[in-house]
Amino acid sequence: MPVDVLAIGAHPDDIELTCGGTLARLRALGHRFGIVDLTAGELGTRGTPEIRAAEAQKAAEILGADFRHTLDLGDGGLRRGREDELKVIDVIRREKPRIVFTPYPDDRHPDHRRAGQVVTDACFYAGLRKLETAHPAHRPQQTVYFSTFLPHPPQFVVDVTAYIEVRRAAMRAFESQFHTPGSVEPQTILSQEDFLAWVEARSREHGALIGVPFGEGFRSIRPPRIDDPIKAFEGFEPGF
């Protein structure tokens, strides 16, 4: 059964931190979605692949994902050669998403950059009928980008206010990665006490752009079609 959305990140937790609220919202609207992590995060400073896999499954259940799969493209050196690109192409063909969410192909983390690049290319190539993999050709309607660490001005923002608690719960599932008082594991950007507040600060900023408490902003290769521009900008200037 095809999914409406496939969210493809480099590491377990990339998706929750960037588009978790949007996925929970899509779920509430009755859409099906799956999550694909291109790596198991085996080179992550904290936790083990087993711990991260269990955390990732729990987070996916909290968001309401239909499935979560892991590819093995190599954490800390994510590969995007032809062989690996074909694996991504075949996953897209197998799940037949209408929309694919993936990292914007520009970030401080090379794995995020490479994930955005390989997924962008794979989404296009997946539609080439004469290119053979295990599943028939399928091209998603659009590749949609979320920013990971570096900010990029969003082209559109989804109101996730009603789903912020679900996203918080999904993020908290990644216990090994985030701040734990008394933990003797090495510190990372994610494990700093302020990290989750920084993530929410971005959601606050994106929310402010559309006049709601929490938003998730995105970019896409082609702009979204707006059916009612009046409704799309309703409430932007309260009092007028």
Closer CB to Zn ion, residue 14 or residue 84? 14
Q: What is the closest distance, in whole angstroms, from the C-beta atom of residue 25 to Zn ion in the complex? A: 22
Q: Which residues make up the interface to Zn ion (CB under 5 A)? A: 10-11, 14
What's the rounded Cα separation, in Å, for the pair 80 and 200? 31
**Please, what is the minimum distance in Å from the beta carbon of residue 13 to Zn ion?**
7
In angstroms, give the least distance from the CB of 52 to Zn ion: 11
* CB nearer Zn ion, residue 27 or residue 114: 114
* Nearest to Zn ion of 122, 190 (CB atom): 190
Point out which residues pair with 159 in neighbouring strands: 215
Please give the C-alpha separations between residue 190 and each of 93, 141, 148, 187, in angstroms, as whole numbers: 33, 33, 12, 8
Task: Kindly state the smallest distance separating residue 10's Cβ from Zn ion, in Å.
Answer: 5
Burial of 12 (0-12, 13-18, 19+ CB in 10 A): buried
Q: Which is nearer to Zn ion, 6 or 212 (CB)?
A: 6
Cα(206)–Cα(221) distance, integer angstroms: 19
* Residue least distant from Zn ion (Cβ): 11
Smallest gap from residue 166 Cβ to Zn ion (A): 20
DSSP-assigned letter for residue 186: P
3 touches 66 (CB < 8 A):
yes
Query: Please, where are the H alpha helices in 126-178?
Result: 164-172
In the complex with Zn ion, the residue whose CB is nearer, 88 or 210, is: 88
